[in-house]
């Protein structure tokens, strides 16, 4: 009879996510994971197969959590589109109370570390990026329908500009750049959407 596992597997994935997020894939050893998860190497391999498989599960966990938060923050509801966009971008680069500054985004960190060298990782990072693009696209289209953005706004082009800005912001946040400078960049990015129709030019 197999021995019952004496740990919460999902909790282990959450803790592994935090470790990979802090250190990156290559700098995190199996020994590091074992110490963090309180598992022997044999238990870790028996449960997760190998470090790479656990990393993929950690990345999936982060994507699901991050996407849910982004969806909530990008819900325009009755708020002005520009306020929603600005607040979301500020949230991306603001360390929460008691949080660890300079961590950046796990997906962006992974994309810059592993690039296109790992097909399974690349598939996940690109899927996460597309979720962000689609959320931005939906927000801008909503803004056009409500008359807050110009009818002739090129939504797809604006999405690419904002998405590129977001990636740059998250890299700069990880590098420890001045939050005030990042806030200035965010304000400029929002202004690229142009004035609201009917507002003084």
Tell me: pLDDT of 4 over 50. Answer: no
Q: Is the same domain home to 41 and 81?
A: no
Residue 81 shares a structural domain with residue 169: yes
- Would residue 141 count as lying in a domain? yes
Domain membership flag for residue 64: no
The CATH code of the domain that includes 33 is 1.10.10.60
Q: Say if residue 52's pLDDT is above 80.
A: yes
Same domain for 51 and 80, yes or no, is no
Please tell me whether residues 43 and 123 are part of one structural domain.
Answer: no
Count Cβ atoms within 10 A of the Cβ of residue 113 and give its class: 0-12 exposed, 13-18 middle, 19 or more buried: middle
Tell me the C-alpha distance between 126 and 117, whole Å.
13
Q: Over the stretch 68-91, which tens digit does the pLDDT of each residue have?
A: 788 788 877 788 999 999 999 999
> Does residue 198 fall inside a structural domain?
no
102 in a structural domain: yes
pLDDT per residue over 137-196, tens digit each?
A: 999 999 999 999 999 999 999 999 999 999 999 999 999 999 999 999 999 999 999 987
**Which residues, 6 or more positions from 7, have their beta carbon under 8 angstroms from its beta carbon?**
37, 38, 39
Residue 134 placed within a domain: yes
Dist CA 69 CA 109 (whole Å):
18
Q: Are residues 37 and 82 in the same domain?
A: no
Written as six digits, the tokens of 30 are 């199996």
Asked whether residue 197 is assigned to any structural domain, the reply reads no
Does one domain contain both 2 and 99?
no
- Calpha distance 105→93 (Å, rounded): 9
Q: What angle do CA 186, 171, 113 make, to 5 degrees?
A: 155
Residue 119 belongs to domain spanning: 74-191
Q: At what angle do helices 106-114 and 9-23 cross, to 10 degrees?
A: 60
Does any domain span residue 63? no
Q: What is the pTM of this model?
A: 0.87
Q: Cα(31)–Cα(85) distance, rounded to whole angstroms?
A: 41
3-state secondary structure of 201: coil
CATH code, 152: 1.10.357.10
Total structural domains in the chain? 2
49 Ramachandran zone, left/alpha/beta (phi>0; psi -120 to 50): left
């Amino acid at each position: 009879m197999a021995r019952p596992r004496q740990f919460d597997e999902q909790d282990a994935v959450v803790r592994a996510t935090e470790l990979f997020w802090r250190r990156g894939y290559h700098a995190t050893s199996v020994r590091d994971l074992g110490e963090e998860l309180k598992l022997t190497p044999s238990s870790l391999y028996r449960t997760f197969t190998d470090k790479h498989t656990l990393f993929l599960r950690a990345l999936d966990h982060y994507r699901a959590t991050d996407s849910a938060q982004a969806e909530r923050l990008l819900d325009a509801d009755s708020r002005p589109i520009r306020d929603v966009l600005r607040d979301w971008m500020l949230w991306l680069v603001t360390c929460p109370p008691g949080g660890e500054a300079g961590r950046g985004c796990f997906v962006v960190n992974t994309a810059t570390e592993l690039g296109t060298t790992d097909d399974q990782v690349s598939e996940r990072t690109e899927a996460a990026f597309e979720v962000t693009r689609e959320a931005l696209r939906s927000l801008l289209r909503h803004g056009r329908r409500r008359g807050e953005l110009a009818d002739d706004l090129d939504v797809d082009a604006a999405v690419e500009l904002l998405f590129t800005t977001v990636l740059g912001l998250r890299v700069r946040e990880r590098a420890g750049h001045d939050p005030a400078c990042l806030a200035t960049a965010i304000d400029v990015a929002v202004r690229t959407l142009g004035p609201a129709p009917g507002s003084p030019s």
